[in-house]
Structure 1
């Protein structure tokens, strides 16, 4: 069925709707580890054959400053495991701040250190949310953990270089997979778990990484975005959406940083992980909703949300569409103008934009919900799409976003929309 999205979207507004501003964010955790902050953490270990150095001067040790560090900052959290005993070992540092926000984002810089060609090199760093403060995180052999976390190594030598864990209590209705999810799970977005995959080869080329496809001996910034309202968790490396999955209930609890060695071979002393610039921001949703969406074939209305920073200069914006049909493709649309058009082009939904409407349909921007019922996109504020070409966002600009997606109806295939979301950037 033909929809208005197959021709330029230039439609008249059906009323005046006031633009809203970006919502306030609250920083729950911020730690640059320049001073010893160990009192703020609870550490869970398995064999206990390692150390947690909460103010390790990694610059003095020859590691460059993390990309988000302030000038003069040189320290981070250094973790080691399985240093002498030849046992499987893990250590997870839970920040003692309990998180119960509906929407929040964890961000941390990570350095996976190892000696190329050395022994005992494969160790997995972990970054997690919703933890219980007592159970160490480990993606396999044995599987252990709470809440949700992602594990990844730096040397690309395990076959399961990237995996994520979802607590059984958060398994969605109708799913059977829990704990460390299989790499064929829809939440892996077809990217798999091996560093040899095309996605990871492009994400971490060598050089600068020591091993192509793995963040070894380089800094990478890891983000976990949690939307407890939509039941959607997203994992990013350097701003690139890597995994995204649904969950039941909530990921409330403790954020964590950790390291695990599932092999018994002892390394040469250069196997460790450094974390820096650890932060958790709550109330991370940006903007205000307007213009209600119609129910789609799931029986509920699609939801539009955004996380990131409210300032244009930060260029930090992630758009998310949730509560959508599974295995449906879609994309985001944007305009400086709001509007309202019922069932444009025969759609089952409402178009909430007007004027010059841009579409996120460039390379990698057309999304598929797979089995998650949603999709996300890291949007570049220096290149907002428009019918005449990309436009940069400036302080004071208001942009209105909406998700478009394929849907089904009793009469056959159709399309639908989420609600609208308006953001005024500072």
Structure 2
């Protein structure tokens, strides 16, 4: 009798799930996983003969299974309770931290050497227009290079300290600004997001203080009014972790008490605005994208501070919440993201009479970026 009840309950549950699968609307995109989901494949004779239809249909059923996000979350949560420390992409760290995995094997040492060579060649090509002492570099370690206490036991991580030493030695002829020490000194503070791979605004501020000290600019946190713009940020590592629970991050912006007027021009006139922040991004998943309006090929920031100072920043997304701190210090800031910009950077510097350069990357993106070759 007991076995019959179990069988009947199983059939009822299976039937209910099947019916729900039929009537559940099919989704095109998963916010939680940050990816497009498989769609129902077209039934053709060719697809049957080459055996692609069954594979694609299986992917479709898996991606569109009713309450899929809940089942994935339950699975991952159970694995965490059983002691699993990662899901292949993200470490399940301490205190709610979800930390992107960066192993030694996952970093291409040859690409690092090439990127160093590309930048050296670029520096050689602009030295007639930009003095070496005006060429700056900040390479910021990511969370697993600073807050190692957040990692699970026996986590294998890429040796960022070794890379930073190589970079500092390789670029000893320019102004290399070390921010690792100040980040480590403040590693108990909220300097990296729990659910995203970026540093927080406070982490960026600490690096900016090092920049200011190098430039002889006096700066203090009291010079800013700090506004929390959201407490519901679930970022890139949350998406990679495939969980439906997590401790959301807060995002803050630092507004200088000494105001300057700004004009931002995106992609050589495609769009203009007078603010560094796209507040509409706070309504979507990519809330970090509010800083500098996300990632554009080229942005020109002109301020009312008519001091004649111009700088070009060649950056990854770590630069997006660092550059707003610089806005009050320069008359013009030109921002280039090599992932999207395909123009000649050397010619751009010459044409715009820019006498100062800042390379601003995090260690992992520098090690993995296949776009630095564009500087050639």
**Normalising by structure 1, what TM-score?**
0.27
Higher-RCO chain (CA-CA 8 Å, sequence separation at least 6):
1
Larger Rg: 2
Instruction: Give the strand-richer structure, 1 or 2.
Output: 1
Instruction: Give the helix-richer structure, 1 or 2.
Output: 2
